[in-house]
Amino acid sequence: MNLSYNWLRELVEFNHSPKELAEVLTFAGLEVEEIEQLDGDSRLVTEVTTNRPDWLGHCGVAHEIAALTGKEFSAPAPELAETGEDVNALTSVENSATDLCPRYTARVIRNVTVKESPDWLKLRLLAVGLRPINNVVDVTNLVLMEMNQPLHAFDLNKLAEKRIVVRRANKGETLTAIDGTVCKLDGEMLVIADGKKPVAIAGVMGGSETEVSNSTTDILLESAYFDPANTRRTSRALKLASDSSYRFERGIDPGNVERASARAAQLMCELGGGELAKGIIDTNPGFGAPWEVDMRFSQCEKILGFRIEPVAIAAIFRGLGMEVIIKDAARICVKVPSFRQDVTREADLIEEVIRVAGFHHVPEKITLPLMSAHDSAAVSGARRISAILVGLGYSECKTDSFVPEKWISSFLPENATRAVRVHNPVNAERPLLRTELAPSLLDARRVNRAEDEACFFELNHVYLADAEPTRLALLDDRGMEYLRGALDAILDALGVRETVSVKVKGDNPAFVTRGSAELFLGDRKIGVMGVVSAAQKKLHDLDRDTAIMELDFDLLALAPRSGKRYVSLPRFPGVRRDIALVVPEEVTWQRLENAIREKSDLLESVEYQSTFRGKGLDAGTKSVAFSLLYRAEGRSLTDEEANSLRDAMVAHLTTVIENSRQRV
């Protein structure tokens, strides 16, 4: 927004230089980005925030200066000499779209002489960056920049039936705008029409067929309020913008519609020698009435951190153009003028008080209070799980919450009826919110198909019609045994007291036959795991087998935890013994580990090392290597004692394996 320094001084008699005025306005919220020196004037280039459209006119800024400086604001006061016929005898207005145009006014000025504007008017427009055209158009632009009210002057004699119809456009109608743009209209656009066709795009731009020219003698002057959202949509759809649409999009003062019309009519009569018809056609004179807002002095002090005297607060509101209705010891009630659409509640009034009084009055607090906060079980558990899985070689994923319909509940069919459909999706190919994480990880695997062995996990929300649970999903190309190992690490990290039971299932179509399982914690199902089926690989364009596990993290987070107890560090060293045992192929490591822990004399830990199959071993056998750590309390073990414990363990395991063979 460009402001003329001289123009502002005519409205408020302040003593600040252009630079000083720029500082005052900037500290109050109206940022002055640049000061340009003109011949006999200064132009202030400002950045107007969207909540203050009143600053798009000199009167609105002058109101602000008056409040900040304590000076008097002198508003333009038009004095109309209505000497012509009654306006209703010359034209009429029909408004069939009151939702998009709550207020429309029309005045008629006859026998106008369209000519070049006087120098003072041309200089005023040039000071704010506008090009003078003729006295009629220049007056509408002057009032636009002065009172922030867009106006439009029609050549009355070019209007079919000499009347105005405010309506939605008919599909297929066209209009050629003043700038020559041919606009194709649709039924959502608001137009100003005459008795036959559209003559202007409401709030955006007038049509070329009815614009004022040097031959114009009779003028219909439009001043109206148009819906901001509809104006914005129309302007964007037509790729047509103007100073008027810029203001209508942000919301103008609805109570200023008639005053701005009067101001323009007076100037047109003075500069063009016209006759103003008696009266005005106004479709909604009551639109734009002021409203009342209360503010408690105690709340103002509480928010600002210091006290401002009620007398000073009342003076601030009066300076801003607000009428003080009630002021007692506890509160103040003001009537807010229609040009301050941003002031609707107590907090807004408090903001106005400190903005005008000055933010430098707010006391500084150099102390910073600190409070310790404990994480919830879910938050701390999620943090530990992420750290554990990253340490195990898994990469964390964050996938899109929107998914294709064919992905829904492919791994957890029980959630199919609880999916949430988005009515206006960003991507039409992803119209639903995810009900599980596994399909998203498979899609991530597709994207990372160049990886030899992928290990992914995601801990995130899924979205059901009646809930928003948190799930943990893992993908591992190495197989289900690695997922089971990761599950054990997760339970250990959470300190879950119960063990997970595995029930093999073969009826889930997302997994290969007999290649899936349901996971239970006690009697509660917490998830599924398995090797994905050929159908799932085809769905996600995968060319290799991979295993998936999905867990209900909320149930895991709420599971009973084992208590923590302090154990002092051992005083004496442990003794490690490595064993490689040849066992039948059908003997699993789990069976061996269970047998080892049966004979736990002085055994502190057991660690699996490797499995070997091949040369030197009989068919149907394998060599399993593992290490044992022995430690005695209160003394060091001798080599002889450690060897004896090792030999006893080998003998025990040999007996267990032989007994297993005999049972088979």
CA atoms within 13 A on the CB side of 409: 11
When pLDDT is cut at 50, 70 and 90, the band that residue 345 belongs to is very high
Q: What percent of the chain has pLDDT over 70?
A: 99
Tokens representing 320 are 């801003």
Which amino acid, 558?
Answer: L
**pLDDT at position 409:** 78
- C-alpha 266/C-alpha 272 separation (Å) is 10
Q: In the predicted model, what is the mean pLDDT of residues 171-186?
A: 93
**pLDDT at position 9:** 94
pLDDT of residue 275 exceeding 80: yes
**pLDDT at position 411:** 86
CA atoms 220, 221, 227, 231: torsion sign? positive
Rg (CA), the chain: 40
- C-alpha 158/C-alpha 608 separation (Å) is 96
**pLDDT at position 367:** 75
Tokens representing 452 are 């030899």
Q: In the predicted model, what is the mean pLDDT of residues 223-231?
A: 96
* Widest distance between CA atoms in the chain: 127
**CATH dotted code for 575-663:** 3.30.70.380
At residue 155's C-alpha, the angle toward residues 152 and 158, to 5°, is 130
**pLDDT at position 589:** 85
Q: Where in the chain is the domain with CATH 3.30.70.380?
A: 575-663
Q: Which residues pair with 335 in a beta bridge?
A: 292, 323
**pLDDT at position 369:** 73
For residue range 528-547, list pLDDT tens digits in order.
999 999 999 999 999 889 99
- C-alpha 599/C-alpha 590 separation (Å) is 15
Name the burial class of residue 157, with classes exposed (0-12), middle (13-18) and buried (19+) by CB atoms within 10 angstroms of its CB: middle
Let me know if domain 378-558 sits in CATH 3.30.930.10: yes
- C-alpha 75/C-alpha 68 separation (Å) is 17
Q: What is the mean pLDDT of the chain?
A: 91
pLDDT of residue 148 exceeding 90: yes
Q: Which residues pair with 581 in a beta bridge?
A: 624
When pLDDT is cut at 50, 70 and 90, the band that residue 397 belongs to is very high
Q: In the predicted model, what is the mean pLDDT of residues 502-514?
A: 80
Check: CB of residue 471 under 8 Å from CB of residue 435: no
**pLDDT at position 597:** 86
E strand or H helix that includes residue 127: helix 119-127
DSSP assignment of 489-520: HHHHHHTB-SPEEEEEE---TTEEEEEEEEEE
Tokens representing 470 are 């948190």
**pLDDT at position 599:** 84
**pLDDT at position 563:** 67
Tokens representing 403 are 């998914």
Q: In the predicted model, what is the mean pLDDT of residues 143-149?
A: 96
pLDDT of residue 371 exceeding 90: no
pLDDT of residue 651 exceeding 80: yes
**pLDDT at position 663:** 57
pLDDT of residue 136 exceeding 60: yes
For residue range 430-439, list pLDDT tens digits in order.
999 999 999 9
Tokens representing 575 are 């003794």
pLDDT of residue 596 exceeding 60: yes
**pLDDT at position 295:** 96
Q: In the predicted model, what is the mean pLDDT of residues 599-626?
A: 89
- C-alpha 477/C-alpha 440 separation (Å) is 15
CA atoms 120, 126, 128, 133: torsion sign? positive
For residue range 542-579, list pLDDT tens digits in order.
988 999 999 999 888 888 777 666 778 888 999 999 99
Residue 330: CB partners within 8 Å, gap ≥ 6? 296, 297, 298
CB neighbours of residue 447 within 10 Å: 11
- Single out the residue of 360, 335, 339 nearest to residue 349, CA to CA: 335
Q: In the predicted model, what is the mean pLDDT of residues 204-230?
A: 95
**pLDDT at position 559:** 81
When pLDDT is cut at 50, 70 and 90, the band that residue 507 belongs to is confident
**pLDDT at position 163:** 95
- C-alpha 107/C-alpha 261 separation (Å) is 8
When pLDDT is cut at 50, 70 and 90, the band that residue 414 belongs to is confident
- C-alpha 377/C-alpha 374 separation (Å) is 9
**pLDDT at position 577:** 94
**pLDDT at position 492:** 85
- C-alpha 73/C-alpha 13 separation (Å) is 8
The larger pLDDT score, comparing residue 48 to residue 515, is at 48
Give the pairing type, strands 82-86 and 395-396: unpaired
Q: Where in the chain is the domain with CATH 3.30.56.10?
A: 2-69, 291-360
Q: Where in the chain is the domain with CATH 3.30.930.10?
A: 378-558
pLDDT of residue 592 exceeding 60: yes
**pLDDT at position 564:** 67
Residue 619: CB partners within 8 Å, gap ≥ 6? none
- C-alpha 662/C-alpha 324 separation (Å) is 101
DSSP assignment of 59-89: HHHHHHHHHHHTPPB--------EEEEEGGG
Check: CB of residue 213 under 8 Å from CB of residue 136: no
**pLDDT at position 509:** 85
For residue range 112-135, list pLDDT tens digits in order.
999 999 999 999 999 999 999 999
- C-alpha 440/C-alpha 407 separation (Å) is 8
CB neighbours of residue 206 within 10 Å: 23
**pLDDT at position 374:** 76
For residue range 71-127, list pLDDT tens digits in order.
988 888 888 999 889 999 999 999 999 999 999 999 999 999 999 999 999 999 999
pLDDT of residue 661 exceeding 80: no
Phi, psi at residue 310, to the nearest 5°? -55, -35
CA atoms within 13 A on the CB side of 244: 25
Let me know if domain 291-360 sits in CATH 3.30.56.10: yes
Residue 266: CB partners within 8 Å, gap ≥ 6? 78, 79, 80
CA atoms 641, 643, 646, 648: torsion sign? negative
- Single out the residue of 383, 482, 397, 494 nearest to residue 440, CA to CA: 397
CA dist 579 to 420, 575, 651, Å? 56, 13, 12
pLDDT of residue 170 exceeding 90: yes
**pLDDT at position 662:** 61
**CATH dotted code for 82-282:** 3.50.40.10
Which amino acid, 474?
Answer: L
Q: Tell me what percent of the chain is helix, strand and coil, each rounded to the nearest 5.
A: 35, 25, 40
Q: In the predicted model, what is the mean pLDDT of residues 24-32?
A: 92
Domain 2-69: which CATH class? alpha beta
**Count of all residues that appear for the chain in the document:** 664
Q: Which residues of 276-306 are buried (b: 16+ CB within 10 A; e: fewer)?
A: bbbebbbbbeebbebeebebebeebeeebee
Residue 186: CB partners within 8 Å, gap ≥ 6? 169, 171, 237
